[in-house]
Amino acid sequence: MRFSRVTVPTLKEKPAEAQIPSHELLLRAGMMRAVAAGIYTMLPLGALALQRVEDIVRREMNAAGALEVVLPTLHPADPWMKSGRWHQYGPEMMRLGDRQGRDFCLGPTAEELITEAVAKTAPSYRDLPVNLYQIQTKFRDETRPRFGLIRGREFRMKDAYSFHVDEGDLDRTYDRMRQAYSSVARGCSLPVRVVEAVTGLIGGDVSHEFMVVSGIGEDVLVYCGDCDYGADAELESHSPGGMFGGTEAAAPQEVHTPGLVSVEEVASFLGTGPASVTKCVLYVAGGEAVAVFVPGYREVSETKLARVLGTDEFHPMREDEREKFPAVTAGYTGPVGLEGVRTVFDLEIAGARGLICGANRPDYHLGGVEEGRDFAAEPAFDVATAVQGDACVRCGGELRIARGIEIGHIFKLGVKYSEAMGASFTDRDGKDKPMIMGTYGIGTSRILATVVEQHHDDGGIKWPVSVAPLPVEVLVISPGRREQAEAAERLTRALAGRGMEILVDDREASPGVKFNDADLVGLPLQVVIGKKLDSDGTVDLKVRYTGERRAVRVELAVEEIERALEEAP
């Protein structure tokens, strides 16, 4: 592949729309170009890198026993109506109508279509289990497409779906797919954390996300540094670090705190910290006021609260609703003497003393409050988020809190779709039963961007060998000199004979431009054919990842290239 003949439109300057390194570098390195917000054309080198990622995914799926299929991109509305998700998906689903007036959508996922297909082809327990996958373009009309391939409206994804006779059979496939996803991450040189996750619109009772820790991640994860525990921040469990409250045992005292309502304001005014303040967050659920009390340095996890309330139909109390609930005093609601309001306490409040809390009248707080003496923290649940200093519930190790990029998500669906869509099988006892399902998604274009996010420097991309578009770039410094051009041609043919396609920079450009572009594109190995070929018969080899350089005899270059690639990350 010759640089002068292939479309690699490198850019010197950072594109204005690029907010993160992977977005900037994939554009600057000529790997892709924007078509519209969240929609990209993959150019030759970008398409090759995406193909490498998908080859790894395909290899691991096949090894896990999944079989590849091709499903339509255009989905009729009927199966989505059956599952109930036609309206649930809302504006993210890209919808259209055909000339007959029938409704369709561009598939954001494919549980409905694959369930219908398997229901027609696997009528008996003898036909199960089945695990089918596809690698296809998906569409979701994101409200805020951003970060290039990290969150696009059109993206590449591998989605798999398994069908079983019972939960035990699902568990076995689920574990195989979990291992396969971890292998995909390793194959792409991505350190991944597997965390318990919220199931969301996909549904089911159990799910796990595969997260790559990154400062630009849109999700927050909590994980243990000493064991394999990890969970989405909205789902985690933690052992509190004993930071809440103090030792004060005096009777409660009312303190005038005019206009001070935030935890930080109150703590500063009273010369203490958030660890001494009880935070109250007011919600409305089913027309009832709910006061949720958590330590002042924590936030309420609304996902955890939904489990406690038994519904997700609640919202923070609005200002226009406050007059409906005279028992609460916004900004000053506290647990001492509070009546006529449903209360929920975080577990950490139990047994705490020396607390500051609202006095249930405007502009006043109480100090020296003790749980058990002045109020009872009942009922108490884990409804607060984790903070640094908490301990792992499994091993007692220190929990870590980080942002992460989700590259994959797997779910145990149970019978959510099979019951709704009549996907049953005849069991050994001759009875019809709904198929037990699992679903498994991994974003291949997002993996591509995440690899770049994790593997780059100030000069450009540093591709790991496994996902590099091509393994080697040959830089011909003076392509007009016959000796250099012939050496490049011989090297190209020799490497092709060993199954290796390479990129040859044969442009009439300055050495500086070629060196900068080579680092920007970031192929694992650079071979420089220049003046040394004339003077001592050598070429320079540079390992892009480490920056290591060495001169090798031109006649030994093929063997040295293969050796260097074997040793490269």
pLDDT tens column, 518-548 = 999 999 999 999 999 989 999 999 999 999 9
* CA distance linking residue 539 with residue 146, whole number of Å: 42
At residue 473, φ and ψ (nearest 5 deg) are -115, 130
- Answer yes or no: is pLDDT of 477 > 70: yes
- Answer yes or no: is pLDDT of 510 > 70: yes
Return the CA Rg of the chain: 30
* CA distance linking residue 465 with residue 184, whole number of Å: 14
Candidates 529, 402, 388; CA nearest to 472 is: 529
Residue 204's pLDDT is 79
Residue 248's pLDDT is 67
Using DSSP bridges, classify how beta strands 436-443 and 399-414 pair: parallel, antiparallel or unpaired.
antiparallel
Candidates 522, 462, 465, 454; CA nearest to 150 is: 454
Residue 350's pLDDT is 92
Torsion region of 242: left, alpha or beta (phi above 0 gives left; psi -120 to 50 gives alpha): left
Tokens of 540: 């320079």
Residue 234's pLDDT is 86
Question: Which H or E run contains 96?
Answer: strand 94-97
* CA distance linking residue 40 with residue 33, whole number of Å: 6
Q: How far is CA 537 from the centre of its chain?
A: 49
Instruction: Count CA atoms within 13 Å of residue 158 on its CB side.
Output: 29
Residue 249's pLDDT is 65
Outline where 249-347 has alpha helix (H): 263-269, 302-309
C-alpha dist (Å) from residue 289 to 282, 328, 521: 7, 8, 58
- Mutual angle of helices 44-63 and 444-454, in 10-degree steps: 110
* CA distance linking residue 434 with residue 454, whole number of Å: 43
Residue 494's pLDDT is 97
DSSP 8-state code for residue 8 = -
Structural domains for the chain: 42-235+401-452 (3.30.930.10), 253-381 (3.90.960.10), 470-567 (3.40.50.800)
Three-state DSSP class for residue 193? strand
Tokens of 203: 């549904």
Residues 6+ apart with CB under 8 A from 368: 248, 249, 250, 251, 252, 253, 354, 355
Three-state DSSP class for residue 504? strand
- Answer yes or no: is pLDDT of 77 > 70: yes
- Answer yes or no: is pLDDT of 430 > 80: yes
Per residue in 212-257, pLDDT (tens digit) is 999 999 999 999 999 999 999 988 999 987 778 876 667 899 999 9
* CA distance linking residue 257 with residue 271, whole number of Å: 12
Tokens of 81: 């109506």
Looking at per-residue pLDDT, the higher value among 248 and 9 belongs to 9
CB atoms within 10 A of CB 191: 10
Instruction: Count CA atoms within 13 Å of residue 55 on its CB side.
Output: 10
* CA distance linking residue 19 with residue 38, whole number of Å: 13
Residues 6+ apart with CB under 8 A from 499: none
Per residue in 435-468, pLDDT (tens digit) is 999 999 999 999 999 999 999 999 999 999 999 9
Counted residue by residue, the chain has a size of 569
Concatenated DSSP letters for 198-265? Answer: --TTT--SEEEEEEEE-TT-SEEEEEESSSS-EEETTT---B--S-S--S--SPPEEEE-TT--SHHH
Determine whether 426 is exposed, middle or buried from the number of CB atoms within 10 Å of its CB (0-12, 13-18, 19+): middle
Residues 6+ apart with CB under 8 A from 361: 329, 332
At residue 98, φ and ψ (nearest 5 deg) are -90, 180
* CA distance linking residue 412 with residue 414, whole number of Å: 6
* CA distance linking residue 454 with residue 15, whole number of Å: 20
- Answer yes or no: is pLDDT of 193 > 90: yes
Residue 201's pLDDT is 76
DSSP 8-state code for residue 15 = P
* CA distance linking residue 544 with residue 456, whole number of Å: 10
Residues 6+ apart with CB under 8 A from 320: none
The whole-number average pLDDT for the span 394-405 is 95
Candidates 76, 25, 31, 24; CA nearest to 53 is: 31
At residue 90, φ and ψ (nearest 5 deg) are 65, -155
Q: Are 337 and 313 in contact (CB under 8 A)?
A: no
Residue 28's pLDDT is 98
Question: Which H or E run contains 49?
Answer: helix 44-63
The whole-number average pLDDT for the span 196-201 is 85
Candidates 341, 264, 375, 323; CA nearest to 366 is: 375
Which residue(s) pair with 162 in the sheet?
Answer: 131, 438
Place of tokens 């090297």: 491
Percent of the chain with pLDDT over 90: 92
Determine if the peptide bond prior to 379 is cis (ω within 30°).
yes
Q: Are 40 and 149 in contact (CB under 8 A)?
A: yes
